[in-house]
Amino acid sequence: MTAKTNIPDFFIVGAPKCGTTALDHHLSQHPEIFMAKKELHYFGKDLGMKQDELTKEGYLAHFTEAGKLRKGESSVWYLYSKTAAQEIKAFNPEARIIIMLRRPDEMIPSLHGQFIYDADLAETNFELAFQQDLNRENQPIPCFNFENRPKFLEAASYSEQVKRYLDIFGKKQVLIVLHEDLKLHFEATYRKVLDFIGVSTDFIPDQKQVNARKDIKNVSLHHMSKEPPKGLRRVFRFVVPYKPLRHKIMQQVEHLNVSEQQASSVSPEMKLKINDLLKTDVLSLQQLIARDLSGWLK
């Protein structure tokens, strides 16, 4: 298969914690769709993500098994990136863009939990972490995955991010999917996505929950398992010289230190604070996508 035919047809660009993993999973079950490994983040050079940089050939290699299937890729920070939309447009001008959005007073607490799990944040108390974020101003915060971790409010300020994709791709190539649509009206929303992608709409996937919220039992141990200190790494390599076994041990440590949990409750006062801070953005988004989002502010 040539590199040209490996080019993805559609992208799920985010936002994080808005149902992208679930949609990716459900689309991957469709017999006419091939989904690449999630979170490749080949585009979005401005994000400063700390991962091995993919070459174009390396990126396209993720689609070599797709054959004639419609090819999709999901990376949740493409929406937040100021450059990813233009980079994707240059890569495939005909690409279809799927944007998933969730009410900020649910998305932000969930993102806080994800940052902890990814070792990008140590403060487990959401309200304290949120206030620390507000106090950061323009101070860069390097972490495990980013040279400068995105702020909560910036990640949930959707209107400018959505407008960027609409301006670059046009309305016909962009589909907005709200988290509540997928949750409350799954089959109708799923068929709408399939029609947008250009595949048969008569397939209904397994709807089991994916990417459940994770509770870290010991944050310090979790962060150490993600990025062990150099001295500990040297000792570990000496004691366990076989690399695959070291990897298996660290995976087991992480597994034992993580459990699934229900979404933690956020106080009404905290929800009100988030909604007040993002009210202007929500109203702008409402007008931009022609959807009633007044429920997001209640």
Positions of the chain with pLDDT under 50: 1-2, 222-223
17 close to 114: Cβ distance less than 8 angstroms? yes
What average pLDDT is seen over the chain?
A: 87
65 close to 34: Cβ distance less than 8 angstroms? yes
- Residues of the chain within CATH 3.40.50.300 domain(s) are 4-208+266-297
Q: Please give the Cα distance from 203 to 186 (Å, whole number).
A: 12
What is residue 233's predicted lDDT score, i.e. its pLDDT?
A: 55
What is residue 1's predicted lDDT score, i.e. its pLDDT?
A: 46
Q: Please give the Cα distance from 187 to 111 (Å, whole number).
A: 26
What is residue 210's predicted lDDT score, i.e. its pLDDT?
A: 63
DSSP three-state, residue 145: coil
Q: Please give the Cα distance from 251 to 38 (Å, whole number).
A: 19
Global pTM reads: 0.83
Q: Which residue has the tokens 């440590």?
A: 253
CATH assignment of 4-208+266-297, among 3.40.50.300, 3.30.1330.30, 3.30.70.600, 2.60.120.200: 3.40.50.300
Read out DSSP for 75-143? -TTTTT-SSHHHHHHHH-TT-EEEEEE--HHHHHHHHHHHHHHTTS-----HHHHHHHHHHTTT-----
Q: Please give the Cα distance from 259 to 192 (Å, whole number).
A: 34
Residues in the chain: 298
